[in-house]
Amino acid sequence: MPPPSGSPRPEPQKPILSVAGLSIALRGRGRETSLVQDVSFSLSEGRTLCLVGESGCGKSLTSLAIMGLLASPPLEITRGEILFEGRDLRALSARDRADLRGDRMTMIFQEPMTSLNPAFTIGDQIAEAVMRHKGGTAEEARAKALEMLKRVRIPAAEKRLDEYPHQLSGGMRQRIMIAMALVNGPRLLIADEPTTALDVTIQAQILSLVRRLQQETGSAMLLITHDLGVVAEVADEVAVMYAGRIVERASVKDIFDDPQHPYTIGLMGSLPSLSGREERLATIPGSVPAPERMPKGCRFAPRCPFCIPACTEAQPPLLEVAPGHEAACIRAPLEQHVTEAA
Amino acid sequence: MSAILQAEGLKKYFKTGGGLFSKPTVVRAVDGVSFAVQKGETLAIVGESGCGKSTVGRMLMRLIEPTAGTVTFEGQDLGALGETGLRKLRGAMQMVFQDPFSSLNPRMTVADIVGEPLWLHGEGSARERREKTLELLRTVGLRPDLADRYPHEFSGGQRQRIGIARALASSPKLVIGDEPVSALDVSIQAQVINLLEDLKERFALTLIIIAHDLAVIRHMSDRVIVMYLGSIVEVAPTGPLYSEPLHPYTRALLSAIPLPVPGHHAERKLLEGDIPSPANPPSGCRFHTRCPYAQKRCVDEVPALRDAGAGRMAACHFFEDLPPETAGRALGAADSPAKARRLALYKQFRTLRDTQGPEAVLRASTPTMEAVTRGEQSS
Ligand SMILES: Nc1ncnc2c1ncn2[C@@H]1O[C@H](COP(=O)(O)OP(=O)(O)OP(=O)(O)O)[C@@H](O)[C@H]1O
Ligand SMILES: Nc1ncnc2c1ncn2[C@@H]1O[C@H](COP(=O)(O)OP(=O)(O)OP(=O)(O)O)[C@@H](O)[C@H]1O
Ligand code: SF4
Ligand code: SF4
Ligand SMILES: [Mg+2]
Ligand SMILES: [Mg+2]
């Protein structure tokens, strides 16, 4: 059994990434639809923050905004600050941002072919990433590529250097993409559902690989997933998103052992368990409202079993409910606000 | 219990590619699969991508022709039936698919989609069919006033409900769900799982659930078939399969699942290597390229699916001799008191809001400071 780490971890040093009040909107035909609203978090060296939430809650948009890859127009950052290693990314020129990408900050996606070019060999693609940012000769870059393939445990790495992406299995391509993302030693790695398309035995390999490489390099990781099992496996901290906002943020232990927001609780109750057959799953009724039809107050109110009229008056702010644990619910902690004998 | 459906020696080989100068490759998608489904049970078929689950499902429905083998439904050999016989039988056997987006005709209204099987079977008058359709929508939890909308106007979970309503229209005895909840978000997935369980109870259905999510399977099924590369490697009642998996592949699958319990990963054993291609499966035991217990015999000799007692079967030469899976990690941990308490509150208030409305939720709330002061003023 791993030791339970009940006490809060020592507060880590300076954050590598800090996002404050980030809002993203869709602009078009004289309308502005808010898609991500007031998202804040920070991430330190060697730590992993998981963004979790259901489809469409704004996880990918948040990460694309950090990478400077938002498709704008029509998408646009309307507010907020993104500091990376102390620098305000929004103030940088497009050129400077492009220099950071693939070097100091890198991203891996659910579908490896988003980052791999089918027309070039694996070796050439990784070597190119090295030379673009670090310079050096083609031989040096190729040697670096080979070393990286070995580190991500590609069998027969030497031979793979000269193969094309389509010659590899899905799991293998994912490893190649990870190799490419890590070859320049980034300080921040953003992974958007990196294992969602993979089989469970392959997913386990990739997760353990990512964790090991991260320990070796000390880079920070922002991992996006909707799988609470993956969250428990890799996260240090967790931010739960619902309908474009962060509704709860805490250490991984607190999220699972002390869930505060009714949405987080509902998600936990919706998960079938591997350890036994429970009677019936708790469910969250209804579905997520469309971005252009967001309720005025708490966005979870239409689906929340604890909703009272006050919830629909204003958006509940993300407030600390315990040290290092924040929830955006006017009724947290619940047991203090409801009578259990109801 | 008696068998409602029986599959015997099912095989499906697909020929792909092949031209003037190249030989076609033969993909052995399903390679000799036999099992029986008992009336009233929920049987799960699990395995990784490409192991042949969907192909088995399609052969059971005879949506595709088996290369070899037979399927018997209530004593009738499906292969011996003509088109009309098959069509009749398909009313009694229905399929629900994974992708609620592509499995519904975008140009038909929901009422038409759900009502089509009734119309095909020439049931009742137009008015009676409409009535029955609306009733089916209510049964799966969709508002009947949405009947004349089109599929694109619905969310993923709602579309899956439409697919289920359609499957129920012909009053089936057996429903095969091919990944019926895999494409859905967790909260929506839970709604559909509960719905399927309710319907199974209400209509005394037999269910075959094809899935790769072992937690969903654990929750829903009575018995599980585990497949690897076109063959069955283990069959067992659900409880024992999870607590004491016999086959090395089943063990590996179970230990690969990330558990929603922080700190658990330290204990796991990982499977090395990739899943081989079914076009070129390994000799002998197909799992031998990844099996931690493989020996010489495994390379040469195909292990038979053998009786392991207590309704279990396993296809491994050595399952009796393997170390018991007690060293494996626990498949969960008890909820913390805080979490257990909040989950209980959640369920309680969910029921309260559903049955007595939002006012009851307000009444069950401890007075806020504001209300307390107001109360003092009025007294
Ligand atoms: N280019 C775009 N144009 C218009 N709307 C968009 C665009 N990209 C995203 N959206 C909308 O923004 C919202 C958030 O999208 P995002 O991709 O961030 O979700 P997500 O949390 O990553 O979901 P998933 O789990 O499905 O990947 C969604 O409602 C989506 O429809
Ligand atoms: N029509 C076809 N032609 C050629 N090969 C096919 C065809 N249908 C399936 N296959 C192959 O047969 C094998 C089994 O496919 P099947 O769809 O049954 O797998 P599955 O277990 O359902 O996988 P998944 O979990 O990905 O749905 C795969 O290798 C697949 O590529
Ligand atoms: S603020 Fe109200 S509606 Fe929103 S989550 Fe909390 S109790 Fe539910
Ligand atoms: S037969 Fe051999 S290779 Fe196959 S599962 Fe058993 S021990 Fe492993
Ligand atoms: Mg996304
Ligand atoms: Mg399938």
The whole-angstrom separation of Cα A178 and Cα A181 is 5
Tell me the per-residue pLDDT of A243-252, one tens digit each, with 9 for 90 and over. 999 999 999 9
Using a CB-CB cut-off of 8 Å, the residues of chain B touching A307 are 353, 358, 361
CA angle B215, B220, B221 (to 5 degrees): 105
Cα of A34 to nearest chain B Cα, Å: 20
CATH domain A17-235 topology = Rossmann fold (3.40.50)
pLDDT of res. A157: 87
SS3 assignment for chain A: CCCCCCCCCCCCCCEEEEEEEEEEEEEECCEEEEEEEEEEEEEECCCEEEEECCCCCCHHHHHHHHHCCCCCCCEEEEEEEEEECCEEHHHCCHHHHHHHECCCEEEECCCHHHCCCCCCCHHHHHHHHHHHHHCCCHHHHHHHHHHHHHHCCCCCHHHHCCCCHHHCCHHHHHHHHHHHHHCCCCCEEEEECCCCCCCHHHHHHHHHHHHHHHHHHCCEEEEEECCHHHHHHHCCEEEEEECCEEEEEEEHHHHHHCCCCHHHHHHHHHCCCCCCCCCCCCCCCCCCCCHHHCCCCCCCHHHCCCCCHHHHCCCCCCEEEECCEEECCCCCCHHHCECCCC
- B interface test, pick of A283, A304, A321, A340 with most B CB neighbours within 10 Å: A283
Cβ-contact B50, B228 below 8 angstroms: no
Nearest-by-Cβ selection for A277 from B218, B350, B352: B218
A13 touches chain B (CB under 8 A): no
The pair of structure tokens assigned to B319 is: 């399952």
Nearest-by-Cβ selection for B366 from A199, A276, A338: A338
Beta strands in B111-188 (DSSP E): 174-178
Tell me the per-residue pLDDT of A125-151, one tens digit each, with 9 for 90 and over. 999 989 988 888 989 999 999 998 888
Cα of A186 to nearest chain B Cα, Å: 25
The whole-angstrom separation of Cα A254 and Cα B164 is 38
**223-282 of A, contacting B, C-beta below 8 A:** 226-233, 235, 252-253, 256-260, 262, 265-278, 280-282
Among A22, A24, A26, say which to mutate for ligand 1: greatest number of ligand atoms within 8 Å of CB.
A26
**What ranges do the domains of chain A cover?**
17-235, 252-337
Question: What are the C-alpha distances in Å from A261 to residues A335, B211, B336?
Answer: 12, 31, 16
Tell me the CA–centroid distance for residue B332 and ligand 2, in Å. Answer: 32
pLDDT of res. B329: 56
Nearest-by-Cβ selection for B350 from A207, A305, A334: A305
**208-227 of B, contacting A, C-beta below 8 A:** 212, 214-216, 218-220
Cα of B116 to nearest chain A Cα, Å: 27
Using a CB-CB cut-off of 8 Å, the residues of chain B touching A276 are 218, 332
CB of residue B317 inside a 6 A radius of ligand 4: yes
Q: Name the residue of chain B whose CA is nearest to A304's CA.
A: B350
Report CB contact under 8 Å: B193, A305: no
Q: Report, as ranges of residue numbers, the positions in chain B whose pLDDT lies below 70.
A: 1, 18, 20, 100, 264-269, 325-330, 367-379
* Confidence band for A309, pLDDT divided at 50, 70 and 90: very high
pLDDT of res. B330: 66
Cα of B259 to nearest chain A Cα, Å: 4
Beta bridge partners of A75: A26
Nearest-by-Cβ selection for A266 from B187, B239, B361: B187
Q: How many CB atoms lie under 10 A from the CB of residue B219? A: 22
Cα of B266 to nearest chain A Cα, Å: 7
Pick the residue with more confidence: B309 or A112? B309
CB of residue B322 inside a 6 A radius of ligand 4: no
CB of residue B287 inside a 6 A radius of ligand 4: yes
Tell me the per-residue pLDDT of A190-229, one tens digit each, with 9 for 90 and over. 999 888 877 888 888 888 888 888 888 889 999 999 889 9
B322 touches chain A (CB under 8 A): no
* Confidence band for A109, pLDDT divided at 50, 70 and 90: confident
Nearest-by-Cβ selection for B343 from A268, A308, A340: A268
Q: Determine which helix (DSSP H) or strand (DSSP E) holds B353, and give its type and residue range.
A: helix B337-356
Atom of ligand 4 nearest to the CA of B295: 2
* Confidence band for A188, pLDDT divided at 50, 70 and 90: very high
Residue tagged 């003023």 (tokens): B377
Report CB contact under 8 Å: B186, A54: yes
Cβ-contact A21, A38 below 8 angstroms: yes
**What ranges do the domains of chain B cover?**
3-221, 231-332, 337-378
Using a CB-CB cut-off of 8 Å, the residues of chain B touching A277 are 218-219, 238-239
Tell me the CA–centroid distance for residue B27 and ligand 2, in Å. Answer: 9
The pair of structure tokens assigned to B345 is: 């509150």
Is the predicted pLDDT of residue A2 greater than 70, yes or no? no
Tell me the per-residue pLDDT of B143-199, one tens digit each, with 9 for 90 and over. 888 899 998 888 778 888 899 999 999 889 999 999 988 878 888 889 889 999 999
Share of chain A above pLDDT 90, in %: 56
Report CB contact under 8 Å: B212, A200: yes
| CATH architecture under which domain B3-221 falls | 3-Layer(aba) Sandwich (3.40)
Tell me the per-residue pLDDT of A55-103, one tens digit each, with 9 for 90 and over. 889 999 999 999 999 988 899 999 999 999 999 999 999 999 999 998 9
Assembly ipTM: 0.87
Neighbours of ion ligand 5 (CB under 5 A): A 60
Nearest to A189, CA basis, from A86, A99, A87, A108: A108
pLDDT of res. A72: 82
Query: Which phi and psi (to 5°) does residue B134 adopt?
Result: -65, -40
Nearest-by-Cβ selection for B364 from A155, A280, A342: A342
Cα of A107 to nearest chain B Cα, Å: 22
The whole-angstrom separation of Cα B78 and Cα B320 is 37
DSSP states of B295-333 as a string? Answer: -HHHHHSPPP-EEEETTEEE--TTTTTSPPGGGSPPS--
pLDDT of res. A11: 52
Report CB contact under 8 Å: B185, A226: yes
Pocket of ligand 3 (CB under 6 A): A 261-262, 298, 300-301, 304, 306-307, 311, 316, 329-331
**86-145 of B, contacting A, C-beta below 8 A:** none
Question: What are the C-alpha distances in Å from A342 to residues A100, A329, B350?
Answer: 56, 20, 12
A202 touches chain B (CB under 8 A): yes
